[in-house]
């Protein structure tokens, strides 16, 4: 059960980083998406709220499904997009490829707590 709370805390911290380190996230945003700052802040709010939701049993399942959905969106829009030449931001391709299984691990981590 400790890992559930670690997960919640992790998403809260990562969500806060969207507000304190917005410049870090801006280059990661796919160019085909509009309003980058708005989307960065929106995803930060989502991460904080979903991370908090993990701590409350009555809304935990909803929060976990939200985390799974968010991770799938990030996987498809950000991580896969960065695999294309011109979108790699100087990051070695092998690192970008390794992020894909990490996303699936994070999805599984949330899924295992669903009842």
Minimal CA–CA distance to 43: which of 82, 9, 78, 84? 78
Other CB atoms within 10 Å distance of the CB of residue 11? 25
Which pLDDT value is given to residue 1?
A: 79
Q: What is the mean pLDDT of residues 41-64?
A: 98
Q: What is the CA radius of gyration of the chain?
A: 14
Which pLDDT value is given to residue 108?
A: 97
The pTM of this model reads: 0.92
Average pLDDT, the chain: 95
CA–CA–CA angle 54, 16, 89 (5° rounding): 115
* pLDDT tens digit sequence for 53-101: 999 999 999 999 999 999 999 999 999 999 999 999 999 999 999 999 9
Minimal CA–CA distance to 67: which of 84, 81, 52? 52
């Amino acid at each position: 059960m400790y890992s559930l709370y670690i997960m919640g805390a992790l998403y809260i911290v990562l969500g806060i980083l969207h507000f304190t380190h917005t410049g870090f996230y801006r280059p990661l945003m796919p160019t085909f998406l509009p309003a980058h700052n708005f989307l960065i802040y929106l995803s930060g709010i989502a991460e904080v709220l979903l991370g908090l939701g993990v701590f409350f049993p009555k809304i935990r399942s909803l929060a976990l499904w939200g985390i799974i959905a968010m991770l799938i969106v990030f996987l498809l829009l950000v991580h896969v997009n960065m695999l294309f030449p011109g979108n790699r931001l100087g990051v070695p391709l092998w690192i970008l490829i390794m992020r894909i299984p990490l996303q699936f691990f994070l999805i599984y981590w949330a899924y295992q707590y669903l009842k």
